[in-house]
Amino acid sequence: MSALFDQLVRRIQLDGPLSLADYMAQVLTDPHLGYYSRQQADGKDPFGRRGDFITAPEISQMFGELLGLWCADCWVNLGAPPRVILAELGPGRGTLMADLLRAAKGVPAFLAALEIHLVEVSPSLRRRQAQALGDLEVTWHDSVDQLPTSAPLLLLANEFFDALPIHQYQRTRQGWAERRIGINDAGTELVFGLAAAVPGNRLLGLPPADIGAVAELCPAGNAIAQAIGQRLAAQGGAALIVDYGYLKTQAGDSLQALRAHRYHPVLRDPGSADITAHVNFQALAEAAQAGGARPLPPVTQGEFLTHLGLDQRASQLIAQATASQAKDIAEARKRLTGDAEMGRLFKVLALTTSDGPDLAGFPTSQDPGETQATPKNNPG
Ligand code: SAH
């Protein structure tokens, strides 16, 4: 058994069964043994074909380039301030930021105004990001609260919120009961159990649901969304949250672990697989609004990238590519925007301020009827 397993067992023996959120936090972000911090001997990290999962910036440079143009457009609409804080949450390998900055070279005054700030818990991924960004001046932080307040903020988060710890509750005849993690009698395996139910049918933030249903809450994600909302209200700027998830609060067990691109049991070999849950965009938007930001109705990743010109950028790259590169670019375009791939499952939530500008890729307030997400995007 691994050192992380032993630590979890000792913690459970001392404190009793863990919430899923405590388990996820330790398993994913323990600074030495956590999934995101582990530096394998061969330098392998969680991303890409050789890793456990692949994200949009790792699929194609076009993703980061288009987000770079989105940021430059925001900056122009903010009145081209002489300084702007460009922050990314959970930058992974640093690929998105590197592609974004390359595209931003097309708008030199924007590039000159940028101060780059990365929020990252994993020491090994910080090193990886430093390599990707070369000589650029970059500041790392442990949390959103440490970002500077002295200039408008442009903030990006791609597949960050899905990695944050969630709580799960099961609806029983007695009320909602939290799912907790204990140890089997032999002391050899971690197992799920249920805590005592909270009497009554309602628990703050959980949807109405039938007996047996599971529902999830992500207080850590909501607190970060609220903090971003407060920052935007105080500093001005905009934020873009891209992730997979659902538009309306709903019941459902969305917890999953991935290892080498395959599903893996969530409690087996802790620290060896990525654990994520679908993001509740309604909860994030409400939290950001409570913080003082103006959330725009989310659009799908497919709609967003297509609005920003993904097809044109793909054609431009294909025109200069070899036949095999051209095939890869066409495949990447389809993977990012296809309805059966990332295009519909992934959503984009933009946050701005009450007096903030319209944001590229989102229906403007002058487009009646388009300001609500269309029913086809709503799984609920
Ligand atoms: N945005 C990247 C990586 C996504 S994986 C991409 O799209 O490829 C999630 C990232 O968030 C990793 O960099 C991970 O180390 C970081 N992370 C996870 N939990 C975090 C937390 N609580 N605080 C800061 N960073 C976190």
Ligand 1: does its nearest atom lie under 6 Å from the Cβ of 120? yes
Q: Are strands 167-172 and 175-183 parallel, antiparallel or unpaired?
A: antiparallel
CB 101 within 8 A of CB 138: no
Q: Are strands 84-89 and 114-119 parallel, antiparallel or unpaired?
A: parallel
pLDDT of 49 reads: 78
pLDDT of 355 reads: 87
CB 207 within 8 A of CB 215: yes
pLDDT of 141 reads: 98
Ligand 1: does its nearest atom lie under 6 Å from the Cβ of 34? no
Tell me, in angstroms, the distance from the centre of ligand 1 to residue 76's CA. Answer: 28
Tens-level pLDDT at each residue, the chain (380 residues): 799 999 999 999 999 999 999 999 999 999 889 999 876 545 668 887 778 889 999 999 999 999 999 999 999 999 999 999 999 999 999 999 999 999 999 999 999 999 999 999 999 999 999 999 998 999 999 999 999 999 999 999 999 999 999 999 999 998 899 999 999 999 999 999 999 998 766 667 788 899 999 999 999 999 999 999 999 999 999 999 999 999 999 999 999 999 999 999 999 999 999 999 999 999 999 999 999 999 999 999 999 999 999 999 999 999 999 999 999 999 999 999 999 999 999 999 999 998 888 899 998 766 554 444 333 333 33
Q: Quick check: pTM over 0.75? A: yes
| Residue-wise DSSP of 105-145 | TTSHHHHHHEEEEEE---HHHHHHHHHHHTT--EEEESSGG
H or E stretch covering 192: strand 190-199
- Whole-number Å distance between alpha carbons of 114 and 87: 10
CB 3 within 8 A of CB 33: yes
Residue type, 5: F
Ligand 1: does its nearest atom lie under 6 Å from the Cβ of 121? yes
> Of all atoms in ligand 1, which is nearest to the CA of residue 29?
19
| Residue nearest to ligand 1 atom 3, measured at CA | 92
CB 56 within 8 A of CB 242: yes
Tell me, in angstroms, the distance from the centre of ligand 1 to residue 315's CA. Answer: 31
> Of all atoms in ligand 1, which is nearest to the CA of residue 159?
4
The SS3 assignment for 69 reads helix
Q: What angle, 0 to 180 degrees and rounded to 10, lies between the N-to-C axes of helices 281-291 and 219-235?
A: 40
Ligand 1: does its nearest atom lie under 6 Å from the Cβ of 91? yes
> Of all atoms in ligand 1, which is nearest to the CA of residue 58?
8
Ligand 1: does its nearest atom lie under 6 Å from the Cβ of 346? no
Q: For residue 199, how many other CB atoms are within 10 A of its CB?
A: 8
Ligand 1: does its nearest atom lie under 6 Å from the Cβ of 161? no
